[in-house]
Structure 1
Amino acid sequence: MSSDLVPATRNWSASEIAGSSEDLNAYFLKISGEVELGNVNERPHLTMSEPTSNNLAVLSLDIVISADGSSVPQKHWAQCGLRHRTFPGAYNAIRVMWQGIEVVSLKL
């Protein structure tokens, strides 16, 4: 994937999920979506943005592409996701970024 192009994305979702106990550590956000890639050896991942968002109510994530194996140019869609431990009401939105450019904003 060329690092200067913003990849197409689709089917993003974010949900707050509570565990079966009253333990706040069992509460998390589940974020997922698809990224269009240009090579079969590429895989998308979501990571926490560094630096984090200036707004503490917004969780900022970065799409990172890794490559492994033989290079074969071919466009395809690949799923990526992240589970993030948190507590109820910690965030009201999620920003997904590609090299500092927002590709999707999700409201919770």
Structure 2
Amino acid sequence: MNKKTALLPIVYIACLFSLQIHAKSYSEEHQKVQTLFQSDEEKTAKDAVWTAPDIFKVGGIDDGSRREGYAEYVCLTLYDYGFKGKNVWVQIIDFDRLIKGNDWVKLGEKTCQ
């Protein structure tokens, strides 16, 4: 195991801690949808966090494709949890860049109406 490989778990934990610093406690519905996108049930999402009551960030892997369609899917899921009409801004974030350099790069976004 080289030094770079040995540091990856530490960097990952540090980035997750960074996500939690931005996270606040919101409603039960906020928590339920966040838990869903953090679960294995959502294969595309690698992590998720609310950074404001109306800003939901979902980490994904950059495969070169546009992620507006995935952001729209997230909106549809949010509607199922009672967020229709709440103007939630969904941002799909490059999870690898966040982990490797704490760089919040948007791959796609949509404001859910």
- Smaller-chain TM-score range? 0.3 to 0.5
Instruction: Give the TM-score normalised by structure 2.
Output: 0.33
Instruction: Select the structure that is richer in strand.
Output: 1
Instruction: Give the TM-score normalised by structure 1.
Output: 0.34
Larger Rg: 1
| Higher relative contact order, structure no. (Cα contacts within 8 Å, ≥ 6 residues apart) | 1
Instruction: Select the structure that is richer in helix.
Output: 2
